[in-house]
Amino acid sequence: MSSEFKHIVRVSGKDLGGMKKVAVALTDIKGMGYNLANSIVNALKIDSRTRLGNLSDKQIFEIQECLKDPTKVGIPFFMLNHRKDPETGTNTHYIGSDLDLAMKTEIEREKTLLSWRGVRHSFGLKVRGQHTRTTGRKGRAVGVKKVEIQQK
């Protein structure tokens, strides 16, 4: 253990609070859920009650390496957020800005294929079968006519 407590720990390009427990602090990274964070902590044999600021530099480095490829430490593929990539066929896990970029490219791919989901995305409608009669209007006024006021 490190003798010095770190109040802010930088992991994968994100500043995390050192007062939080390790698994909870990892969920602040975009693309990391609690179950995956807890699995990573258990796979690396880190005490789940430990605060992130008490970890040594070696343990933080191990966490960063595990976030790059969680399957190296035995995380099952069904816990990853990008399984069976259509182009490569691999199972990967994206975090941070890589997740945003991957989602954007997937949506663009569906738009070019003119799949039903792609068409719904292009019109800005709900994609997963939700009702749209009363929700998902995105700020448009429905049934309200704007009247211009004439000035004299």
Evaluate if residue 138 carries a pLDDT over 50. Answer: yes
Tell me which of 87 and 20 has the higher pLDDT: 20
Residues in the chain: 152
Domain over 8-79 is classified CATH 1.10.8.50: yes
- pLDDT tens-digit series, residues 82-120: 999 888 889 999 999 999 999 999 999 999 999 999 999
**pLDDT at 145 (0 to 100):** 72
The arithmetic mean of pLDDT across residues 31-60, rounded, is 93
State yes or no: pLDDT of 146 exceeds 80.
Answer: no
Where are the chain's structural domains?
A: 8-79, 96-131
pLDDT at 100: 94
Which pLDDT value is given to residue 118? 95
Tokens matching residue 139: 């700020």
In the prediction, which pLDDT does 141 show?
A: 67
Q: Are 59 and 1 in contact (CB under 8 A)?
A: no
Name the residue with higher pLDDT: 141 or 64.
Answer: 64
pTM, 2 dp: 0.77
Render the burial of 91-103: b for 16+ CB within 10 Å, e for the rest: bbbbbeeebeebe
| Nearest-angstrom CA–CA distance, 74 and 55 | 21
> Strand, helix or coil at 5?
coil
pLDDT score for 2: 45
pLDDT of residue 140: 65
pLDDT score at 151: 76
Close Cβ partners of 77 (under 8 Å, ≥ 6 residues apart): 71, 83, 91
